[in-house]
Amino acid sequence: MTFLRKLLWLLRRRQKDAELQEELRFHLDEDAADRVADGLPPDEAQHAARRALGSLTLVQEDTRAAWGWTLVEQLAQDVRYGVRMLGANKTFSALAILSLALGIGANTAIFSFMDALLLRSLPVPDPQSLVTLAWHTKKPEMHGSNRHEDSYDDPDGGFVGGIFAYPAFELLQRDASVFTSVFGYQGAGDLHFAVNGRAEITSGEYVSGNYFTGLGVSPAAGRLFTPDDDRAGAPAVAVIGYALGQARFGSAANAAGKSILLDNIPFTVVGVTPPEFFGADPNALPNVYVPMHASLLLQAGDRYGRAAARYADPNFDWIVPMARLRPGVTAAQAQAALAPVFAAWKAATDTKRPKADLPTLVVRGSAGGLDGLRRTYEKPLYLLLGLVGLILAIACANIANLLLARASGRTREMAVRLSIGAGRLRLIRQLLTESLLLAGIGGALGVAFAVWGIRVLTLLLLDGRGDVPFAPEIGVNWRVLAGVGVLSLLTGAAFGLVPALHSTRVDLTPALRGVDRRQSTRARGVNTSRALVVSEVALTLLILVAAGLFLRTLSNLESIELGFNRKVLTFELNARQAGQRDPGILAFYDRVLVELAAIPGVEGATLSDSPLLGAGWSATTVAASPGPSKGSHVLTVGPRFFETMQIPLLRGRAIEARDRAGAPYAAVVNDAFARTFFGSADPVGRHVRLPRPCPTCDIEIVGVAANTRYGRLREAPPPTIFLSYAQAIWGPVGEVTYAIRTAGGPLETERAVRDIVERADPTVPIARMKTQQALIDGMINQQVTFARLCSAFALLALAIACVGLYGTVSYGVARRTAEIGIRMALGARRAAVVWMVQREVLMLAAIGVAISVPAAQAASKIVESFLFGTQRNDPSTVATAALTLAAAAVAAGYLPARHASRIDPMAALRHD
């Protein structure tokens, strides 16, 4: 009741004030009138009335106090005073606010990012009822066909497979007791997409007929697939993504019903997906969807001719299934219901594994199926989160320290205020208001920093793969922000309260005389401050070590010996998808190659079936005769490949133009191959066979090349055999990668390259034109980001810790001014005084380092998987970090030390 009334009064405060004035004026008038009636002259009566009232302001003050909003008024007063105090000590305030803002901002940014990326669900109705189906084996699986983005090694040494054979997919669809639908997809890779003679390469996806109905997606135009579309022999239909529809047909509505060519096969666009839909797999982001059975058309020319056979093969896994649970059924119940069915089927059909190692079915609530995305970003984001958490801890310790030091500096002020009658509670409240104000401003700046930080993070983390569909949508997460805001206020309150209690409990007389600073009773405050600084140093060292490890990893990655020239420009062409067939296709590729070599400034041009780094990753068994059968990577290359890539030939000759179809099969092997297969014997002249693509082809090794990295940057050069692409041992020629080495900048040749390809065949689009260096940059993007972010974090932490050291030491020097004065009066030299101060600094830093080194050893386990070419407890990194810290500490101690050495003994002794 009264509270409500007070609140109302609060709102009408101005009016209340006016009313009070009027009331008092009325009182004065009445009083004067009474006195006139008593016989006084009017103006004397007025004066008498004023005298009787006393101080009008005081009456008003007292009356206002009765309204019961003194608390609020005092708060306003405290805030005003607090703002003045912050302004009076600008350096202190700026440091405290900045460190807190950076801590809060970095935490909010990373949290928001994690929330958006890791906890996001697919933009479909009721994503909670979607589950992913997978299988699990207790033993690791190395089988090539199971290596898929949805498959990964289990932490317990097992293997989780995300792809199923078509018969298994049908089996899972048959049981309708737990799922309303089971649907599936499989990436179709690059598709050649042509409309009205204009072609481009775009990513495609095979989806089951019930894929869109299962996900609950409605078309933006036309219709989506039905099970009838997904049958062998059904009309060739496609659904395209919204963006592609707009780009190629002007609008989604325009696209429906249009004819297109996919890999030169006519398809009809039946519908367009809505703009927010990006497919069930965030790693794929297809633009074109075709029914599963369209693979019979699109893969008719498949290397192994497996397109039709794979629908019947129970041992060939290729479909990624998803399912929607019936209402009320949980993922665990679904798994319990279907696991026995799957196990029985596996027992009957699996020919690859021993009976004891058969896979078991796993049904997982996917909360929308962004599992792959989660796996990609979870670990890096948690790591970053840990780092910014450390920063926040350092910032908090620093603020506590600064507040403590400042409170000690204000002992005298507090004593004065207490002695003239200020209540202790009132003073504590005021000090608390000041620290909360500090925290509040820090928090507000933190928001601004978070907004900016999210933008930077988006750029840094997702730049290497600008294909994450919802990156621009990541905004500040207000829930996270509220949490961090509360945290910052708590920090302010907790770290403000201790010094507030401390500095208001003073013995007035000595404090007023100013002698308190010399008394040992203050040692407790000093010790707290030292403990805080030591913890700041310890935490900073952790971040410094992490930064050192990441920088070392980055420099190791950047200086990796590739074994070939990283400045070559590569791009991909696929004339087969555009409709060209043998033997014209080889002539076409050769013609382009000749023209490329003729571009002015080009020093060499060649081609291969894939680039050395990047897409290429094909392993097969090679049988040497005589000799062993072992695994090797295979790359088919054109003439002048080794010369253009600047890969040294160790023996024999390279693949040349004479190794054409009809000529004896020739191969070059790398050094690793030679050693693996033949030891120290000379491989030139030996013969090998490739049992899988061509068991009868007798291939002669004509040369040995130096080792190069292949496929993956971080892996040691594997055994590799180079075949002549023109001899087509490795199946019919499809896609090729051209490589061009130029005298000038490789990108200057780009225009000329585009012209040549355009003239040769306008329906063959260029894909992925970039230098090998750019490719490598993309591959190590995460390490670059980590090294950059971590270095920034380390600098930040170092700066905050130095501020803490500086504050603590200056406070110590001020406290010991008289002592230092006496020492100097007794003949201590300046250098000795400087050393005395710096010794304390180094001591604090040393204790911090001593605590932190074992902690860093333990914590570095977390970052181990992000490192390359360095040990997680690399001693030189730890030593560098410790030395950096020591140097920074000495720098932080320099000013107070110099100040101490310039103390005038006479002034110091008269100081108090």
Cα 204 from Cα 249, distance rounded (Å) = 18
Under the criterion CB under 8 A, does residue 30 sit at the interface with other proteins? yes
Identified binder of other proteins from the candidate list 24, 307, 526, 814, rule CB under 8 A = 24
Cα 463 from Cα 785, distance rounded (Å) = 10
Q: Nearest 5°: CA angle at 455, between 451 and 460?
A: 140
Is the Cβ–Cβ distance between 303 and 339 less than 8 Å? no
Under the criterion CB under 8 A, does residue 14 sit at the interface with other proteins? no
Nearest approach in angstroms of CB 9 to other proteins is 8
Using the minimum distance from each CB to other proteins, give the nearer residue, 60 or 226: 60
* Tokens found for residue 278: 């990006």
Nearest approach in angstroms of CB 42 to other proteins is 15
Under the criterion CB under 8 A, does residue 34 sit at the interface with other proteins? yes
CA 798 centroid distance within chain: 23
Using the minimum distance from each CB to other proteins, give the nearer residue, 54 or 626: 54
Identified binder of other proteins from the candidate list 13, 27, 424, 522, rule CB under 8 A = 27
Under the criterion CB under 8 A, does residue 658 sit at the interface with other proteins? no
Under the criterion CB under 8 A, does residue 72 sit at the interface with other proteins? no
Cα 491 from Cα 399, distance rounded (Å) = 9
Is the Cβ–Cβ distance between 205 and 320 less than 8 Å? no
Under the criterion CB under 8 A, does residue 864 sit at the interface with other proteins? no
Nearest approach in angstroms of CB 80 to other proteins is 25
Phi-psi region of 790 (alpha: psi -120 to 50; beta: other; left: phi over 0): alpha
Under the criterion CB under 8 A, does residue 23 sit at the interface with other proteins? yes
Using the minimum distance from each CB to other proteins, give the nearer residue, 48 or 118: 48
Secondary structure of 18-60 as H, E, C letters:
HHHHHHHHHHHHHHHHHHHHCCCCHHHHHHHHHHHHCCHHHHH
Cα 797 from Cα 803, distance rounded (Å) = 10
Under the criterion CB under 8 A, does residue 73 sit at the interface with other proteins? no
DSSP string for 857-897: HHHHHHHGGG--SS-TT-HHHHHHHHHHHHHHHHHHHHHHH
Under the criterion CB under 8 A, does residue 700 sit at the interface with other proteins? no
Identified binder of other proteins from the candidate list 7, 11, 12, 55, rule CB under 8 A = 55
Helix (H) or strand (E) holding 326: none
Is the Cβ–Cβ distance between 271 and 222 less than 8 Å? yes
Binding window for other proteins (CB under 8 A); candidates: 55-63, 185-193, 195-203, 868-876? 55-63
Under the criterion CB under 8 A, does residue 891 sit at the interface with other proteins? no
Using the minimum distance from each CB to other proteins, give the nearer residue, 9 or 835: 9
Residue type, 508: L
Cα 260 from Cα 301, distance rounded (Å) = 20
Task: Say how many residues touch other proteins, by CB under 8 A.
Answer: 30
Under the criterion CB under 8 A, does residue 232 sit at the interface with other proteins? no
Secondary structure of 594-663 as H, E, C letters:
HHHHCCCCEEEEEEECCCCECCCCCEEEEEEECCCEEEEEEEEECCCHHHHHCCCEEEECCCCCCCCCCC
Using the minimum distance from each CB to other proteins, give the nearer residue, 59 or 697: 59
The contact pattern for other proteins, residues 794-833, with x = CB under 8 A and - = no contact, is ----------------------------------------
Under the criterion CB under 8 A, does residue 380 sit at the interface with other proteins? no
* Tokens found for residue 706: 């130096």
Nearest approach in angstroms of CB 23 to other proteins is 5
Identified binder of other proteins from the candidate list 10, 65, 594, 825, rule CB under 8 A = 65
Binding window for other proteins (CB under 8 A); candidates: 61-69, 239-247, 388-396, 670-678? 61-69
Identified binder of other proteins from the candidate list 58, 309, 825, 887, rule CB under 8 A = 58
Using the minimum distance from each CB to other proteins, give the nearer residue, 65 or 253: 65
Nearest approach in angstroms of CB 72 to other proteins is 14
Under the criterion CB under 8 A, does residue 524 sit at the interface with other proteins? no
Cα 73 from Cα 561, distance rounded (Å) = 71
Under the criterion CB under 8 A, does residue 675 sit at the interface with other proteins? no
Cα 525 from Cα 48, distance rounded (Å) = 58
Cα 444 from Cα 485, distance rounded (Å) = 8
Cα 877 from Cα 871, distance rounded (Å) = 9
Identified binder of other proteins from the candidate list 18, 42, 44, 62, rule CB under 8 A = 62
Using the minimum distance from each CB to other proteins, give the nearer residue, 29 or 582: 29
Helices then strands, counting H and E runs in the chain, come out as 28, 23
Under the criterion CB under 8 A, does residue 66 sit at the interface with other proteins? yes
Nearest approach in angstroms of CB 8 to other proteins is 11
Nearest approach in angstroms of CB 74 to other proteins is 17
Helix (H) or strand (E) holding 359: none
Under the criterion CB under 8 A, does residue 10 sit at the interface with other proteins? no
Nearest approach in angstroms of CB 40 to other proteins is 12
CA distances from 296 to 291, 293, 302, 805 (A): 10, 6, 10, 71
Binding window for other proteins (CB under 8 A); candidates: 24-32, 515-523, 536-544, 651-659? 24-32
Cα 700 from Cα 625, distance rounded (Å) = 10
Is the Cβ–Cβ distance between 637 and 725 less than 8 Å? yes
Other residues' Cβ atoms within 10 Å of the Cβ of residue 91: 11
Is the Cβ–Cβ distance between 410 and 496 less than 8 Å? no
Using the minimum distance from each CB to other proteins, give the nearer residue, 54 or 827: 54
Using the minimum distance from each CB to other proteins, give the nearer residue, 63 or 268: 63
Interface positions, 35-54, toward other proteins (CB under 8 A): 51-54
Under the criterion CB under 8 A, does residue 70 sit at the interface with other proteins? no
Is the Cβ–Cβ distance between 690 and 724 less than 8 Å? no
Under the criterion CB under 8 A, does residue 1 sit at the interface with other proteins? yes
Under the criterion CB under 8 A, does residue 309 sit at the interface with other proteins? no
Residue 773 has what DSSP assignment? H
Under the criterion CB under 8 A, does residue 482 sit at the interface with other proteins? no
Identified binder of other proteins from the candidate list 17, 68, 189, 285, rule CB under 8 A = 68
Using the minimum distance from each CB to other proteins, give the nearer residue, 53 or 512: 53
Identified binder of other proteins from the candidate list 13, 46, 63, 905, rule CB under 8 A = 63
Nearest approach in angstroms of CB 65 to other proteins is 7
Binding window for other proteins (CB under 8 A); candidates: 31-39, 456-464, 765-773, 890-898? 31-39
Identified binder of other proteins from the candidate list 18, 19, 582, 829, rule CB under 8 A = 19
- Cis check for the bond before 469: say yes or no (omega within 30 of 0): no
Using the minimum distance from each CB to other proteins, give the nearer residue, 10 or 594: 10
Under the criterion CB under 8 A, does residue 308 sit at the interface with other proteins? no
Identified binder of other proteins from the candidate list 59, 339, 526, 909, rule CB under 8 A = 59
Indicate the pairing of strand 259-262 with strand 179-195: antiparallel
Nearest approach in angstroms of CB 63 to other proteins is 5
Other residues' Cβ atoms within 10 Å of the Cβ of residue 799: 19
Beta-ladder partners of 134:
362
CA 310 centroid distance within chain: 38
Using the minimum distance from each CB to other proteins, give the nearer residue, 10 or 657: 10
Under the criterion CB under 8 A, does residue 623 sit at the interface with other proteins? no
Identified binder of other proteins from the candidate list 36, 40, 46, 67, rule CB under 8 A = 67
Q: List interacting residues with other proteins (CB under 8 A).
A: 1-2, 5-6, 9, 19-20, 22-24, 26-27, 29-31, 33-34, 51-55, 58-59, 62-63, 65-68
